[in-house]
Each structure stands twice: as structure tokens, then as C-alpha cells.
Structure 1
Amino acid sequence: MQKPKLGFWDIWNMSFGFLGIQFGFALQNANVSRIFSTLNAPVEDLAVFWLAAPLTGLIVQPIIGYFSDRTWTRLGRRRPYFLVGAILSSLALVAMPNSSSLWMAIGVLWIMDSSINISMEPFRAFVGDNLPQRQRALGFSMQSFFIGIGAVVGSLLPYMFTNWMGISNTAPEGVIPDSVTYSFYAGAAVFLIAVLWTVFNSKEYSPEEMAQFEQSDIAKKVSRDTPEDLRANINWQFINGVIMLLIGIAGASWVYFNELKNDLYILTVGLVVAGLLFIVVGLLRKQNIKNGFTTIITDMQNMPITMKQLSIVQFFSWFALFSMWIYMNDTVTGHVFNFFDKTSQGYNDAADWVPVMFGVYNGVAAAVAFLLPVVAKRTSNKVTHMLALILGGLGLISVYFVSDRIGLVMSMVGVGVAWASILSIPYAMLSGSLPSNKMGYYMGVFNFFIVIPQLVAASILGYLVGTVFNEQPVYAILIGGCSMILAGLLTLNVTTARTVNIPETPLRPQ
């Protein structure tokens, strides 16, 4: 049985929730560094303060994907996670501008980012579940359209409240301006309403139907689960764990004995933990012990080749984006406009322009969302993504050379094209390589390559800005631009072959 083609409004309804998700995400990206700075966070530590959320995401995302693959309720398979994530995210959005201290704001960011991901990651699998392969590019492009629209309005809210409604964008030292506070309140309401629209106006296929769809492709797949392959897989899992453990220990020792910045422990300790997990799972599998824990770690090692190649592209793409989100506020206020007093009108007017810039690149993303599949049809997904990322990288690099608001807006045009492609083309290439009963899990794991570059950016860029670049964050933006261009060139290495693994267990209701 093949999945039927869905109508335009069916795809519209199943994607509409992303309007709210990106509304919250845009408020977070455009304003959290400003909130941290208002609460007296040192600029060289901004990247580290962002880390609580993605570290939690590394744990939450594959677990949410794993269980959503195995969930079936009256609301369906993915929709319960949309709803729970939306409720938690809305509460966190209300709490963020009411943070009374820096550490409270960091904790709220932790909760908010994790909750957004609880909603967002199953949405990616939702497209793979409901659409046939020939419609998935349209489905992800529809999500990109709503992401763009939501992000434009979400990013512009503080500016709109200040300039259209006369709400103050300044406040005493250590207090979040009202324009930012009311923006987060509005974001909470939009987030919840948009996700509820998708929950109650879309459907999901039953486990039995999904099993039949999976069976229709079974003749195209070849099992590699022979005893010899299984033993080799377990041995490599153990060896990979030992390698990661040793590299992590060596790196941590280097940081310790050279008395380097503590930020660098993030990467080294992360490698130690990952290595230990692989070693433990390898030992459990040698004893024929199989459970959710061993499945999650083992499937991570056994990613389809297309996913492994795309993960490298994602790494460098998102490294660039995080350099922009973390450091653009201080780059614009300091490098471009030379304002450093956070209580001054000039500083806050300049800071208000950052959400405008982010609104521009999201608006461009919405405008070109449906153009990218057309370009891809005439060329290929790989060529389209490469060109988009190169434009984005050049846009980031150009920020160093501009000195006025119009120039900053023009820099964001290239970033907008890249953003539209990042949100759709990699997922369209990836979804065809994934088995349907592991779609949620692998989409969650794919998000690792959004989180890991943030950890790397926080470790490396924070260190460079504080020590090498003399606290001038514009150089972090330059590194991000080069990283995005590299990601574009690496796209040409991606193959789009389908997975050859037969699913380990049939899909069934839990």
C-alpha cells in the first residue's frame, strides 16, 4: 500500500503549528543574549550561558523521537508531543522576561529550549509519516514558509511594540524592558494556539497502516543482520567508545595542565561521556542484552550513509547560525554603532535593530521557501543547498564591512536564502533514507548536529572572543560565514541512497 497524495490544505494544516514554534524560537534567538546582557552577563561568557538548553536537548531529542515512534493514543502518534511541548514552551516564554537574576534566566532558557524541541522534532517526523516521498519537499517547504512568517513577526515584536505602540524599550539597570516582556507574552499565546490548530485539524495514520506502508518498500531493502555483521558492529561500537574516551581524557588533560578557559571542558567531557556510553552498550550487547537504552545508542552508530554525510553539512551550517545568534547583538551595538552602555538610548535602539535584521532574513526565507523546490527540480537538491549556503556565508562575512542599518539588512538577505534551505532541503534528502518506524528517532538524532555545533561554538568561540579577539565578537561572525560556505561545498558529497536496513521490530501500538 502506497501513501496517498495529500491536498494543499491538508499539508497547510499539518504544518501550521510551526508558525507558533518558530514564533517562540525567534523570540529566544533574537532576545536571550540581550536579556543575559541586561542581567550583567560578560560578553565572553554569553555562549556558555546558552549551553544548558542544548545539553538537555542531546538527551531529550532522541528519547522523544524513540518514544514517539512507539506511541499511539487517541490524539495519535506525534500530536501528543506537539501539545505537551507547546504548553511547557508557553509557560517558559512567560517566565523568561520575568527572570530576576542571570541564573534564573539560564534555567528558564534550559526549560524553554527543551520544550520547543519536544514540539519541533516530532513535526519533522510528521511530514515523513504522512506524505509520500514525492511530496516531502513540498511538506518541508511549507514548514519553512511558516517558520519564516512566524520568525519575522516574532523577531520584530520588540521593535513593533516600541515604535508602533509607544512601549518603552529602556529600563533601569538589571530590568528587562517592557517591549521585550510583552513580546514574550504574545509569543506564548501564539505558540499554543498555532500548535492546537495542527493538533485538532490534522490526522495520523494508524500503526497498522504505517506497517503496510513500510512493507511496500521491504523488497527494496536488504538485511545486513547476519551473525558476522552483528559481531563486527558490536566490536566497532566498543572500539569507537574507547577512541572517544581516550580523546576526551587527553583533551581534558590538555585544558587542565595548560590552565585554559573552562569552556573547553564542554567538548572534552562530552567526548568522555559519549565514549563511556558506547563502551557500556557494546558490553551489554555482547551479553545479548537489548532494551531501549541499547537500541538508542546502537541506532546512533548505525545511521544511514546519507544521514552521516548530511550531519557534517548540518554541523558547519548550524555552527554559523549559532555564531550569528549568540554574537550579533554585541556585534551590531559595538562594532557597527559603537554603543557599549547598556542603559543608554543609543545602545537599546541599536539592539532593537537586531530583531529587525532577524525578521528580514526570516522574511526572505518565507518568500523563497517555495522557490527552492523549483530550483532543485531544475538542478538538484545538492546544488540548490550549496548555492543557498554560499549566499548565507557571504551575507555573514559582509557584516564586518557595513556601517549602517541598510547595510545590515542587505547582509541578511543571503542569510535568509540559506535559512530557507537549511530548514527544508536537508530534511527532504534525509527522509527518503529512513525507515518509517524509526523516523522520529532519527529525526531526533539528526538534531544532534544542530546541538553539537552549538556546544563547539560555545567552547571555541567563547575562548577566541575572550582571549584572541580582544572581546570583539564580530570575528566570531566572520568565522561563522566561512563555516557556512564550507557547509555548502560539503553538500556536493552527499548521496541520497535509501536505507538498506530492515526494521528490527514491527510498528505496533503501545
Structure 2
Amino acid sequence: MEKRKLNFWQIWNMSFGFLGIQFGFALQGGFMSRIFQTLGAAKDDIPLLWIAAPLTGLLVQPIIGYMSDRTWSAKWGRRRPYFLVGAILSSIALFLVPHSPALWIAAGFLWILDASINISMEPFRALVADKLPESQRSYGFVVQTLIIGIGTWIASNLPWMVSKLGVSDAAASGVVPMSVKVAFAIGAFVFLTSILFTVFTTTEYPPEDMEEFEREKAKKNQFISDIVNNIGSMPATMKKLGVVQFFSWFAFFTMWSMANPALTEHVFQTPVPVEANYNMDVPAQIEAYNTANTAFQKSSNLVGSYMGVYGLSSMAFALFLAFYTSKRRINRKYVHMLSLILGGVGFIMMKFIPSHEYLNISFILIGFAWGSILSMPYAMLSSSVDPKKMGVIMGIFNMFIVLPQIVAALGGVNFVSNLLGSEAINAMTVAGISLILGGLANLLIVNPNAITYQQTEK
């Protein structure tokens, strides 16, 4: 089936649901560690508490990709039913997570939230490959990244914005501030409505051979063998991209899990207060604790806002690439390599900046890496695999996203950063080194179609 080219707004509509998905990811990535710290988690415990995110991705993404490849409804299509189910579950989890009364409950909600987001996210990646001709793949993934950048910036600033509107950052010991609760509620609303927009404004192509599709669908108990077979036969380009992805996602997991303790402690000089260090029977000590806690919560708002800058930067980067790739070819390998190296420099700078305003520079550079991570590997991969298996291949490819995060959560972040010292900011240095290694690993990619699509259409 020859796919027709889509205009910008058609691609925008089919990708708009990613705005909500990114609201969920940005609130999770920017503020989940803050919630853990508020509920009493120690710095070294935080990466392990985050293990829910990569584990659910490892389990959910290949399953959802496989199932969506074998789904078809004349009314709802192939991928859109999964968008909708994931959106409903994610919105419920987003609303409830900041109301967690205990650390273990917050960790449990993270499992639910991440699994639900993955149900929606994985089919979105496959939808771009489903809907667009080969010549528009880079353009499509870049537009998707543009929307992700918008969502990252707005969602990362939500607690700060809500606080500026007068909602309190103060809270009792072990209680998440109301500003965070309101921000997560807004995120839940945006998640659901943006997914609904894509569901009702986008159509999908039916399977090319419906009879063959029905025969494949009728086969039973093929999931594990199909997954194993596809892993065993993955193209060489996919394996090499896996090396790039390992270092890239190790770095970003380190940022999401450790940026709040690292930056509140090192840059803002307002570490989370430990209640055991205060005599809570003495009014002056209670006041001192509350003052320190409010300072930590306010600086956490600013950490989230600065993290939003990488979303804004990735949006600008994606906008540039969207216009460029709509008319011209790019060398995906070198674009991705340079972007990751710049992001690595941004992370390493954090240890040496004289004041928190310089975090803008760091996160601008990190945004270049983020914008590239969300588009270039998928564009390179989609030019190297069987389009009939796009959903399951994208799901398997995302194993290269979750495995490095599992390694990081199970002690990788703590082990490597502690080699540099006990300060939390060393985790950001580790993230920078990892991104630079990921950038250099792009030199492994040699497939010419993956590097630069050889356009043949008029």
C-alpha cells in the first residue's frame, strides 16, 4: 500500500496525544523523587525506588506492541484503542500519586503510572511508521518531539506556576504540598483530553493483506516465540543503536531520579530536612524544620522549572529539524552524535556553575540531546526493519531504553557516582559522561538507509 504524504497539521493531530503522555512523564520525572524525599526516602534509596519505571516498560512495551500489531477495528483502528485505555489509567494514577500517605504507596503508584503511560506511548511510536511514507519518517518523529518538548516545559513548570497563583508550598512532615497535588491533577486532565483529541482526529490504514492478517491473528500462544524470534533476528543496525540507547537512557534515568537531591543540595544549598535531626517537641525546632522544609519545596519547584528548559530547548531543536527535514535530507548519525555530546557537556557543567541561573545553559544543552533521542534513533530504526512488525519491533527496541535504567536503579548510579565522591551532584557528572559515550557510539552505525534515507519519491 502506497502511503500518501501528510501535511504538518495532519502529522500534528496524530501526534498531539503525546502532549498528555509527556505531561505524565515530565511530572513523574521532575517530581517523583521530590515526593519520595518528602515521604522520607534517603538519597541512596531513590534510584531503587524508581525501578518500577523501567521494569514496567520492559514488561509492558513488547506486549502492547505485539498486541497492537494484531489488533484491527474498522472504527477504532489498530493503535488508538491502546491510547485510550492507557490515558484513562494514567490520569487516575497521576491524580492519586501525590496523595500517597507513605513511601511504599508512592512507589506502588509509580508502578501503576508508568505501566499505564507505556500502554499509550508504545503504539504512538508505531503510529508514525504506520501512517507516514518513508520519506516523511524523520519529519514525523521530529514533529512528535516538538509536541513532547511543549509538554515537558509546561508540565515541569506546573508546581511553580501553581505556587505563584497562591497555592501553598508548605506542608507538614511527610505530606506532599498542595501545589504539587494541584499540578498533578492538571496533568491528569491534560493527559486524557489530548489523547482523546488524537483518537477522534486521526484515522489509520487497515492491514495491507486482511486475509493474512486474520490468519496471523488467529494463531494462539505465539507471543513468546515471536518475541524471541524477533530478538534473535534483529538487524545489526538495531543492535548498534542499542549501544547508543544504553548510554543515553542511563544518563536520563540518572537525571530523573537524582536531579532533585543533587541540585537542591549542591546548587540551591537547601537539602531536604531530616526530621530525626530536629527535636519536634520544641517549638523553635518545629519552626526551624518547617522553614527548612518550605525552602526545600520551593527550590524543588525551581529544579522542576529548570528541568522544563530542556523540554523548551528540545522543542526549538525539533522545530528546526521539522522545517529542515520537510525539504532536505539529514545525516541522522552525526546529528545524533553531536546532540548527545552537547547534552553531556550540559550535565558536567552543573558541578561548576556559580549560581542556579546558569542551570538554564545546562538544560538548554541537555534539551538538544533529548530532542535527538526522541527522534533520530526511531527514524534510523524505522528505515531498517520490516514494516509489518513495526509495533513489536518498536516494543523490543524499547528494551534498550529500560535495560540501562534497570542497571542504573539496581545500583549502577550509586556505584559509579560514589567513585567520584559522596555528594549527590556527582550523579550529574556520571550522566554527562554517559551521554558523551552514547554520542561516540553513533560511529558504529554504518547502514546508509539508516543514516540518511535515500529519497526516491518525486
Q: Could you state the TM-score of these two structures normalised by the residue count of structure 2? A: 0.88
Q: State which of 325, 334, 337 in structure 2 corresponds to 1:383.
A: 334
What does residue 454 of structure 2 align with?
Answer: none
Give secondary structure in 1 for the equivalent of 2:299: helix
**Residue type matched to 1:46 in 2?**
I
Unaligned runs of 5+ in 1: 213-288, 500-510
User: 2: CA distance between counterparts of 1:80 and 1:379?
Assistant: 34
User: 2: CA distance between counterparts of 1:159 and 1:211?
Assistant: 54
User: 2: CA distance between counterparts of 1:207 and 1:79?
Assistant: 15
Q: Does 1:328 align with 2:329?
A: no
- Alpha-carbon shift at residue 410 of structure 1 (Å): 1.2
What does residue 85 of structure 2 align with?
Answer: 84
Residues 198-257 of structure 1: per-residue CA shift (max 9 Å, x gap) = 001000001136899xxxxxxxxxxxxxxxxxxxxxxxxxxxxxxxxxxxxxxxxxxxxx
User: 1: CA distance between counterparts of 2:89 and 2:9?
Assistant: 28
| Residues 466, 477 of structure 1: alpha-carbon distance in 2 compared, 3 angstrom cutoff | closer
Q: Does 1:13 align with 2:13?
A: yes
**Residue type matched to 1:369 in 2?**
A
What does residue 57 of structure 1 align with?
Answer: 57
Q: Does 1:495 align with 2:446?
A: yes
Contact conserved, 2:150 with 2:315, CA < 8 A, in 1? yes
User: 1: CA distance between counterparts of 2:128 and 2:211?
Assistant: 16
Contact conserved, 2:64 with 2:395, CA < 8 A, in 1? yes
User: 1: CA distance between counterparts of 2:210 and 2:167?
Assistant: 51
User: 1: CA distance between counterparts of 2:445 and 2:378?
Assistant: 13
- Alpha-carbon shift at residue 472 of structure 1 (Å): 1.6
RMSD over aligned CA atoms reads 2.1
What does residue 366 of structure 1 align with?
Answer: 315
Q: Does 1:477 align with 2:428?
A: yes
User: 1: CA distance between counterparts of 2:162 and 2:428?
Assistant: 28
Question: 1:99-178 to 2 correspondence within 5 Å?
Answer: 99-163=100-164, 165-178=165-178
Contact conserved, 1:465 with 1:473, CA < 8 A, in 2? no
What does residue 348 of structure 1 align with?
Answer: 297
| Residues 378, 61 of structure 1: alpha-carbon distance in 2 compared, 3 angstrom cutoff | closer
**Residue type matched to 1:188 in 2?**
A
**Residue type matched to 1:191 in 2?**
F
Question: 1:262-273 to 2 correspondence within 5 Å?
Answer: none
Give secondary structure in 2 for the equivalent of 1:208: coil
Contact conserved, 2:13 with 2:198, CA < 8 A, in 1? yes
- Alpha-carbon shift at residue 297 of structure 1 (Å): 1.7
User: 1: CA distance between counterparts of 2:234 and 2:184?
Assistant: 38
What does residue 294 of structure 1 align with?
Answer: 225
Contact conserved, 2:33 with 2:260, CA < 8 A, in 1? yes
Number of equivalenced pairs? 423
- Alpha-carbon shift at residue 151 of structure 1 (Å): 0.8
**Residue type matched to 1:125 in 2?**
A
- Alpha-carbon shift at residue 462 of structure 1 (Å): 4.6
Contact conserved, 1:16 with 1:146, CA < 8 A, in 2? yes
| Residues 15, 184 of structure 1: alpha-carbon distance in 2 compared, 3 angstrom cutoff | same
User: 1: CA distance between counterparts of 2:302 and 2:361?
Assistant: 13
Question: 1:323-472 to 2 correspondence within 5 Å?
Answer: 323-342=254-273, 343=290, 344=292, 345-372=294-321, 377=328, 380-464=331-415, 468=419, 471-472=422-423
Contact conserved, 1:430 with 1:496, CA < 8 A, in 2? no
Contact conserved, 2:268 with 2:356, CA < 8 A, in 1? no
Contact conserved, 1:44 with 1:471, CA < 8 A, in 2? no
Runs of 4+ in 1 over 6 A off after TM superposition: 209-212
Could you tell me the percent identity over the aligned residues? 50
User: 2: CA distance between counterparts of 1:325 and 1:75?
Assistant: 34
- Alpha-carbon shift at residue 346 of structure 1 (Å): 2.4
User: 1: CA distance between counterparts of 2:71 and 2:446?
Assistant: 31
- Alpha-carbon shift at residue 69 of structure 1 (Å): 0.3
User: 2: CA distance between counterparts of 1:45 and 1:130?
Assistant: 43
| Residues 486, 374 of structure 1: alpha-carbon distance in 2 compared, 3 angstrom cutoff | farther
Contact conserved, 1:402 with 1:408, CA < 8 A, in 2? yes
Residues 99-143 of structure 1: per-residue CA shift (max 9 Å, x gap) = 111000000000101110110011000000000010111111111
- Alpha-carbon shift at residue 373 of structure 1 (Å): 5.4
| Residues 404, 497 of structure 1: alpha-carbon distance in 2 compared, 3 angstrom cutoff | same
Unaligned runs of 5+ in 2: 213-219, 274-289, 451-458
User: 1: CA distance between counterparts of 2:11 and 2:272?
Assistant: 48
Residues 434-454 of structure 1: per-residue CA shift (max 9 Å, x gap) = 212210111111111111111
**Residue type matched to 1:331 in 2?**
A
**Residue type matched to 1:307 in 2?**
M
Contact conserved, 2:51 with 2:405, CA < 8 A, in 1? yes
**Residue type matched to 2:195 in 1?**
V
Contact conserved, 1:337 with 1:403, CA < 8 A, in 2? no
- Alpha-carbon shift at residue 337 of structure 1 (Å): 2.3
Contact conserved, 2:123 with 2:391, CA < 8 A, in 1? yes
**Residue type matched to 2:24 in 1?**
G
- Alpha-carbon shift at residue 375 of structure 1 (Å): 6.5
Contact conserved, 1:3 with 1:132, CA < 8 A, in 2? yes
User: 1: CA distance between counterparts of 2:110 and 2:329?
Assistant: 42
Contact conserved, 1:66 with 1:440, CA < 8 A, in 2? yes
Q: Could you state the TM-score of these two structures normalised by the residue count of structure 1? A: 0.79
- Alpha-carbon shift at residue 465 of structure 1 (Å): 7.2
User: 2: CA distance between counterparts of 1:490 and 1:370?
Assistant: 25
**Residue type matched to 2:143 in 1?**
M
